[in-house]
Amino acid sequence: GQTIKIAIENNPAMVISLLDGSKNEVIIDFFGTPLTIIKADITYTPSPPVGWVAVGLGFKTQVMIDSRITPELELEGLAREIVRHVQTARKDAALEMDDRIALRLTTDAPKLLDAIRVHRDYIANETLVSNWATDPLGGLSHTVEVKIEGMVLTIELKKHLA
């Protein structure tokens, strides 16, 4: 059992030729004795590395996707969520699509603060920010509190007259 498995694993090119159909049988050396292996003798189960997802589309085609979320991807995803919420706030504030805005984002969540800092230009470009505010906007500003992955973000915006 286990010894034959090792003999087969030590001859990957021969095994592949069986699995891809280029050969009907192969003969491997099993401690000095020729051993004939046919495709039906082999069970092949691909196992992707940890953090990867694999889909077999037949023997010759497999697709593997790295499903791990890096810190950079996490921040990018948070930035996209911030943009989505700011766009909704713009709509709720009855702003025109091309209106430039003053925007103030406040949160106590370190990850959201990092996402805002790292992706500030992206957020500004996507939501037409012409003025990043650090103090309350007051006046006719529109304020909404949202949750992103359980973290609270306060969005305050108003039309910015250049």
Answer positive or negative: Cα dihedral of 79, 83, 84, 86.
Answer: positive
Q: How many CB atoms lie within 10 A of CB 132?
A: 13
pLDDT digits (tens, 9 = 90+) for 83-104: 999 999 999 999 999 999 999 9
Cα distance between residue 40 and residue 18, in whole Å: 9
What is the separation of C-alpha 99 from the centre of its chain, rounded to a whole number of angstroms?
32
How do strand 151-159 and strand 142-148 relate by DSSP bridges? antiparallel
SS3 of the chain: helix, strand, coil, percent, to 5: 35, 30, 35
Cα distance between residue 4 and residue 109, in whole Å: 57
Angstrom distances, CA of residue 91 to CA of 27, 64, 87: 71, 39, 6
The pLDDT value given to residue 67: 80
The pLDDT value given to residue 115: 98
Note whether 94 and 142 are within 8 A (CB): no
**Residue among 109, 143, 139, 103 nearest 123 (CA):** 103
The pLDDT value given to residue 44: 67
The pLDDT value given to residue 3: 67
pTM above 0.85, yes or no: no
Query: Can you list the residues of the chain whose pLDDT is less than 70?
Result: 1-4, 7-8, 44-46, 56-62, 162
The pLDDT value given to residue 4: 66
